[in-house]
Structure 1
């Protein structure tokens, strides 16, 4: 039992690191850049489940908040969290839980994974856009145009890809008995 918990905590830390790597894969589009974080996040929530997927998201946000440069462009700190794009970053925590929860409630099927990742992607975009509007002092039209509209199609594609790959990886890990019994 203790070994399974330790194994999952290590996987959560690994996925937090992968989030940091994904943040550095950037297509710079002001005010919010395209990054691979929104591909890693649903993958980790599907593979690790709601509990450890959320732990990985919390760890990622905490690392960046305390000054480790894991956010896009090797940035970190409270200035990023309380800046215009901070809402996207903070939304990763509830989004990871939401994706994992929907997936688990859906019985771990691919259709549940697709639904979960799409809902998670839309949650991130909505939360981030609302934050962008207020923290960036933008009108709703500007926040929507800069924080949501350009990301809808790419994020839906990433969500579908993450759902299919996440279920495949999770099933392989489960069949190899590399996931705790509760996640199999």
Structure 2
């Protein structure tokens, strides 16, 4: 892999790590800027590199570095209540990198918003399974409070990506 790609992947893994520290605990699942970073990675790096950046981030956390929300790290976070959300990140970045082409804004925004719900589709059932709570409670704890903030973050990531791509073609 060329050094330029490795550098961009490392940069976005670092960005994800920093954005994870911005965390507001509201219960089992905190509000963070992780999804903002995931969406930037997928939109700016493309499918493969965006997914790899998210995987690197997850691996850094899995080995114990304090890169997850609230400065946490370790496998216990991945097998804990929020692990499903983390596991969904590389797939969401890949989908964004493949699906968004910056030519049809309406279709692009639809893909971006659907990716928010893809993260919930993995995270909420995982939260339910790990905690043993019923599905309605998992929805109330792991999705409902986050829908509007997550859509705002991901739409912002899209428009930032549009501007960055106008100025520099980061996907080179």
- For normalisation by structure 1, the TM-score amounts to 0.88
The question of 1:161 aligning with 2:160 is answered: no
Contact 1:83–1:135 (Cα < 8 Å) also in 2: yes
1:159 deviates by 1.3
For structure 1, the residue ranges without an aligned partner over 5 or more in a row are none
Distance 1:31 1:13, change over 3 A: same
Q: Deviations over 1:81-111 (max 9, x none)?
A: 000110011110111111111114xx65443
From 129, 138, 142, the counterpart of 2:137: 142
Q: Give the corresponding residue for 1:120.
A: 115
Q: How many residues align?
A: 172
The runs of at least 4 aligned residues of structure 1 exceeding 2 Å deviation read 107-113
**8 Å CA contact 1:80, 1:86 repeated in 2:** yes
1:92 counterpart = 2:96: no
CA RMSD in angstroms comes to 1.5
TM-score scaled to structure 2, two decimals?
0.94
Structure 1 residue 47 displacement after superposition: 0.6
Aligned to 2:31: 34
CA contact (8 A) 1:110 1:163 kept: no
- The 2-side partners of 1:74 and 1:25 are apart by 9
Query: Which structure 2 residue ranges, 5 or more long, are not aligned?
Result: none
